[in-house]
Structure 1
Amino acid sequence: MYQHRIIRWALAGAAAFLVLGFRISLGAEGEEGFRPLFNGKNLDGWKADEEAKKHWVVRDGVLTYDGKDGNLWTVQSFRDVVLKVDWRLPAPGDSGIYLRGSSKAQVNIWCSELGSGEVYGYRTDKKLPEEIRKAATPLKKADKPVGQWNTFVITLKGETLTVVLNGEVVISGARLPGVPDSGPIALQHHGNPIEFRNILIRELPRTEDSSQAVLICTSCCSFAAGQGSTIELFNGKDLSGWQLKGDPQRSKWAIGKASLDPADPTKLQVSPGGSDLVNLATSLDLFTQQRFGDARVELDVMVPRGSNSGIYIMGEYEIQILDSYGRTRLGMGDMGAIYGAAPPRVNACKAPGQWQHFVIEYQAPRFDAQGKKTANARILRVTLNGQVLHENVELKGPTPGGVTGREVAAGPLMFQGNHGPVAFRNIRITPLGTGP
């Protein structure tokens, strides 16, 4: 008997991901565009004073530091990069990775309850706006127990930093005002032993306005959001490139052919032979690991009778999904509403169990170099089943229930899963390339 492919989010071994709409598989040193910074044999390509070098030793492909002297620096300087590195603390301790030669732009490795990935110099700088300091604080603690290997994937593009630790996004699009334009990478001396291995780097092209693109990489892949390229966000097979918000054991997301349950029209059912993304019952929100600024979202959605969900643009601004079929009086919680902000102009909702087509164009909020918001986000245009619901609506703040509850220059696409059954297909996004 066919079993629903319920997603439990044990996808650490997933090898296929999306890069600007193309699927690739990535290995270790053969990863697309990556090259080794550490050759596993000696310190070629690295520098330190002669005394410090005595304390950085290569054993069996592992770069081992005894904690007794100075930092180890790359000979080469770098600008925009994706850096992938495995690290292990043999005992409770503290270390970090300096970016562009800056101790302030240090991605921290430590045993704090905050978790590794913190950008210490920005989080603790009380002269910076609260938004900057908060973004430099990990969203969660994703460290493995002391003595186990961890993997960082660090993406720095212009002044925008994203850090993924063990497949979890811990720093999402943090702004680092004043970070140097280029500089070497350093493995930090902080008086504690630490080990590194599999240090890979991918240099990124520098755009004239680097804030127009935000790159995010997981432990297996890199993603890029570039101007004008339409990206298929869902591969129809698994949740590669997506993340659940909460305990994966509570997930009711499945993949197959969605339809209304003939025995109970308030439910959806899944059958073999399809590639629809279906939430079968109240469970967890689901969002992309990739972040976007200004963009156009296009997708199909299906709801059963009386069900409720939402499309969270940038993970923070909700376009409502609700069975509003046949209603004549519309409010800010009906199908296609900007939840809590603006009702739809017309009721374009189809009957329960039918596929419905959304097109949503939006503009991200704007921030100055210090991270202070200078302009609110805007919904430029929303159509449902070919009918215009909204045009040029200013959003003064995020909708409750989003990914982080804070406004940023780039954010994920999120589907609300904690309100009821819903199905999606043909999920596409086109970055507009008009970012802040």
Structure 2
Amino acid sequence: MNKSLKWALGMALTAPTLAACATPQEELEPWQQAAKTEVWEPVPKAVEAPVKGVPSDAVVLFDGTDLSAWESINGGPAAWTVSDDAVTVKPGTGNIRTKQSFCDVQLHMEWRAPAPEDGMEGQQRNNSGVFFQERYEIQVLDSYQNPTYPNGQAASVYKQTIPLVNATRPPGQWQEYDIVFTAPKFDGETLTTPGYVTVIHNGVVVQNHVEIQGTTEWIGAPKYKAHGCAPIQLQDHDNLVSFRNIWLREL
């Protein structure tokens, strides 16, 4: 018997058996149908998330004790003032930045603007900012009943994207930022994917996965220039803005 005939005969003999073993979808029990779309791997690792605490997988950048995770952008130790579990800008000493570099992160930080001095308004009303990768700023500003250009108010992507709403509490109260930052991606010098950011201000979504148009510029249009992971900066804008409970999770 040649091989072709033998193969054909074998298939004819086994076909009924195979058909008998097949179970039509409609004959499966509901739990069997549901099981077909269950994925069991990979299993997410467990992370402790205490109420009003720091997740167990977070990098703590400031816990109220010291600035050991930070340095001055001018070189040397960060010179801001640490007191009462908070760090306050020391005007004239310059921005501070993390010693560690980061790419995609979830950042939590709390900040407080003091009561404004007489005549202080607009961008001068206790201004600061948090810069991701030392380039992309989320504005910190006392925007409580303080008119200014909306793409420069608190929680704006500075000079780029206006917040959906103004969730700023009165001065003297602590504000909360929870920010998800997705870093831009480059192939050599070419931008392949822009950056994106989501900002939750005092529990309110004010930036909903918005595209970052490029570097933060005070004058001129934003632009991208290739870079890798980089530190986070806090801005010295000559105002006594305070920060506390700063931590992040690398994504």
TM-score interval for Structure 1 and Structure 2 normalised by the shorter chain:
0.5 to 0.7
Which residue does the alignment assign to 2:108?
A: 298
Which residue does the alignment assign to 1:264?
A: none
Question: How many angstroms apart in 1 are the aligned matches of 2:245 and 2:96?
Answer: 16
1:50-129 matched pairs, under 5 angstroms:
none
Secondary structure of the residue that 2:152 maps to in structure 1? coil
- How far did 1:419 drift? 3.7
| Identical counterparts, % of pairs | 31
- How far did 1:354 drift? 0.8
Higher RCO by CA contacts (8 Å cutoff, separation 6 or greater): 2
Deviations 1:296-317 (A, max 9, x none): 1001001122210001112110
Which residue does the alignment assign to 1:240?
A: 68
CA contact (8 A) 2:128 2:236 kept: yes
Change (3 A) 1:400 1:283: farther
Question: How many angstroms apart in 2 are the aligned matches of 1:280 and 1:286?
Answer: 10
1:320-339 matched pairs, under 5 angstroms:
320-327=139-146, 331-339=150-158
Aligned: 1:285 with 2:95:
yes
CA contact (8 A) 1:315 1:413 kept: yes
- How far did 1:423 drift? 0.7
Letter of the 1:356 counterpart = Q
Question: How many angstroms apart in 2 are the aligned matches of 1:319 and 1:232?
Answer: 20
- How far did 1:330 drift? 5.7
Higher-Rg member (1/2):
2
Q: Which runs of 5+ in 2 are unaligned?
A: 1-55, 117-124, 219-223
Question: How many angstroms apart in 2 are the aligned matches of 1:277 and 1:406?
Answer: 32
Q: Which runs of 5+ in 1 are unaligned?
A: 1-227, 258-274
Aligned: 1:231 with 2:59:
yes
CA contact (8 A) 1:361 1:382 kept: yes
Which residue does the alignment assign to 1:428?
A: 247
Q: Which has the higher helix share?
A: 2
- How far did 1:371 drift? 4.5
Deviations 1:413-436 (A, max 9, x none): 11001342111111011111xxxx
Of residues 179, 196, 204 in structure 2, which corresponds to 1:378?
A: 196
Secondary structure of the residue that 2:151 maps to in structure 1? coil
Aligned: 1:394 with 2:193:
no
Secondary structure of the residue that 2:128 maps to in structure 1? strand
CA contact (8 A) 1:398 1:407 kept: no
Deviations 1:162-186 (A, max 9, x none): xxxxxxxxxxxxxxxxxxxxxxxxx
CA contact (8 A) 1:330 1:344 kept: no
Count of aligned pairs: 182
Question: How many angstroms apart in 1 are the aligned matches of 2:225 and 2:73?
Answer: 16
Letter of the 1:285 counterpart = N
- How far did 1:327 drift? 4.2
- How far did 1:238 drift? 2.5
Of residues 237, 241, 250 in structure 2, which corresponds to 1:418?
A: 237
Letter of the 2:209 counterpart = N
1:22-61 matched pairs, under 5 angstroms:
none
Question: How many angstroms apart in 2 are the aligned matches of 1:253 and 1:388?
Answer: 30
Letter of the 2:184 counterpart = P
Change (3 A) 1:342 1:419: farther
RMSD: 2.3
CA contact (8 A) 1:282 1:421 kept: no
Which residue does the alignment assign to 1:276?
A: 86
